[in-house]
Amino acid sequence: MSQELLRKLSNIVQVGTVTETKSDEGLALARVNILGRVTDFLPIVMISNSFMKVWMPVQVNEQVLVVSPFGEANSGFIIPSVYHKSNKEPEGSTSKNAIFQIGQVKFVCDGETVTVESKNFKLDREGNLTVTGRITDTLGDLTGHEHSVKDHSTAVSRG
């Protein structure tokens, strides 16, 4: 087997660390250090199609995979986020739930309910909000609680 073929085979999938990021004309791009060599800016794989897009930006020093289908690292793409010692899976992860953690906000989905864990959770909604079931806060049950607010006045809190 020739040296060139061995080089290309060894470049097909490599683990590296992000050194720089940028977004150019709607493309998520990053440079990756692989064994001391930094790649050109490569596109980052994200979940996307014609009706849904997910944006999870990679960070400098994050461990990623670089996939180069033809063995040329500078023409490959990045698969983000390899779990390792300094980037562990979210606390509470099991095979029965999905967890999305963004900073200190954690969304836990168990197939039936979604729980949001955050010290400073805020829900902004323009328009109507319909809730089926009980609404409670630290002061008790809010089911059936109503305010009659007109002319953009502010209702007095019950606390």
How far, in Å, CA of 51 to CA of 30, rounded?
Answer: 25
pLDDT tens, residue by residue, 19-60: 999 876 666 899 999 999 999 999 999 887 887 777 777 889
Overall pTM surpassing 0.95 (yes/no): no
Give the start-to-end residue ranges of the domains of the chain.
3-79, 98-141
The correct answer on CATH 3.30.70.1150 for the domain covering 3-79 is: no
Banded pLDDT at 93 (limits 50, 70, 90): low
